[in-house]
Structure 1
């Protein structure tokens, strides 16, 4: 599976900001949009409903991580929003991820976060007391995600090849931390360009600031889309 549209991270604090951003795009251009914690907590389910009514695809990025019963119940509620993709934290364990699958069903894509792209190996070892390499940790989480019958993982593009080898070719890899060559990396530590992510086998990419903070968001989006599809 290959998604030709870069997923745009709608890292905005309110609905008005989202509408201003989307006004840069033709009404007939259907986008793939990521709604994260900031926007969802500010607007609630209304933001997802609005975007779906406009014909856009939605990745609801809430990274659920709780006891299995709570996650399953929450997923049953979120499934009613008909989002195209949603995620949990793989660190919650196989039982929790299986509960998420039961709650969400199979109508959309369910993936798990391995290690955040803002996490370095040194920080992982110090903060999480995971005394392996970062790549080993990501690979382990990916295998457990596959064991739980989820569709794929969120990971750095630098780990895609290892994950595909450790799971299956059809196991999905969504990679945030995508930056066009020469742009600022911000708080991301493990980044790649769209071309590099495509070459290494990513199925989806997520791009935020290089598009939403651009002087010409439409032009920036299409430049990244062209590079991703090259």
Structure 2
């Protein structure tokens, strides 16, 4: 699968379909998150036919509820599905077990620390570890309980590669091409820097979808990361 994933962060179905058509030749997957999925559900998901889907719902609840949610999603056949690692080891294990009940299950990706959070943000919610320490703690726990990969900021990719090796899949948002507005992202790198650090896939949203020519923007990033 190509290493560029584009986030379609919109509740406008017509716009999302137009982006999907334009971007399909340049990306490995399209990321659909809460904004889109809560607005359009299964019908909107089906409208993205033809491109692998990274379904970024960040499931976070008691293990039984998350397992049920995963089972409900499986008929959609997403390529990737996210859960919050902070839901705990039993929740991660329940998500993986539920996904494993079908052929060609989605990759269960555990979200470590959101890329919008910096050190001050962690402290505001009562966490005293450094960002890197918190990411590593959650990453090791999630992988030990069956997660196929992790979602982390590019800044933590080197330490996770050193700690967990090459087999763990790393999906990396917080990607901003040189000169792009960081928006609400606190921990960022350029596409090339993230891939060089060891990212398997990079997720780019607004720098592509907000550009005058999304297809050209995606193509340029795809070429940059090779």
Task: Please give the TM-score of this superposition, normalised by the length of structure 1.
Answer: 0.92
- Residue 196 of structure 2 corresponds to which residue in structure 1? 199
Give the conservation status (yes or no) of the 8 Å contact 1:68–1:100. Answer: yes
2:35 to 26, 33, 38: 38
1:20 to 12, 18, 21: 18
In 2, distance between residues paired with 1:21 and 1:9? 10
**Match runs of 1:36-185 below 5 Å:** 36-51=33-48, 53=49, 55-105=50-100, 107-127=105-125, 129-185=126-182
Give the conservation status (yes or no) of the 8 Å contact 1:109–1:151. Answer: yes
Give the conservation status (yes or no) of the 8 Å contact 2:26–2:215. Answer: no
Where in structure 2 are there 5+ consecutive unaligned residues? none
In 1, distance between residues paired with 2:66 and 2:26? 34
Per-residue CA deviation, residues 152-211 of structure 1 (Å, 9 max, x unaligned), is 110011101111222232111111011111111111010110110011000010000011
Where in structure 1 are there 5+ consecutive unaligned residues? none
My pick for the range that moved more, 136-145 or 99-108, is 99-108
Specify whether residues 14 and 123 from structure 1 end up closer, same or farther in structure 2 by C-alpha distance, changes over 3 A only.
same
Specify whether residues 167 and 24 from structure 1 end up closer, same or farther in structure 2 by C-alpha distance, changes over 3 A only.
closer
In 1, distance between residues paired with 2:56 and 2:217? 23
The offset of 1:48, in angstroms, is 2.0
The offset of 1:25, in angstroms, is 4.8
The offset of 1:212, in angstroms, is 0.4
Per-residue CA deviation, residues 49-103 of structure 1 (Å, 9 max, x unaligned), is 222x3x1010000000000000001100111110000010000001000000111
Give the conservation status (yes or no) of the 8 Å contact 1:48–1:83. Answer: no
The offset of 1:31, in angstroms, is 4.8
Give the conservation status (yes or no) of the 8 Å contact 2:174–2:189. Answer: yes
In 1, distance between residues paired with 2:29 and 2:169? 16
- Which runs of at least 4 in structure 1 moved beyond 4 Å after TM superposition? 28-31
In 2, distance between residues paired with 1:101 and 1:140? 19
Please state whether the residue corresponding to 1:48 is helix, strand or coil: helix
Please state whether the residue corresponding to 2:76 is helix, strand or coil: coil
Please state whether the residue corresponding to 1:80 is helix, strand or coil: helix
Give the conservation status (yes or no) of the 8 Å contact 2:176–2:189. Answer: yes
1:227 has 2:224 as partner: yes
Give the conservation status (yes or no) of the 8 Å contact 2:3–2:200. Answer: no
The offset of 1:40, in angstroms, is 0.2
The offset of 1:227, in angstroms, is 1.1
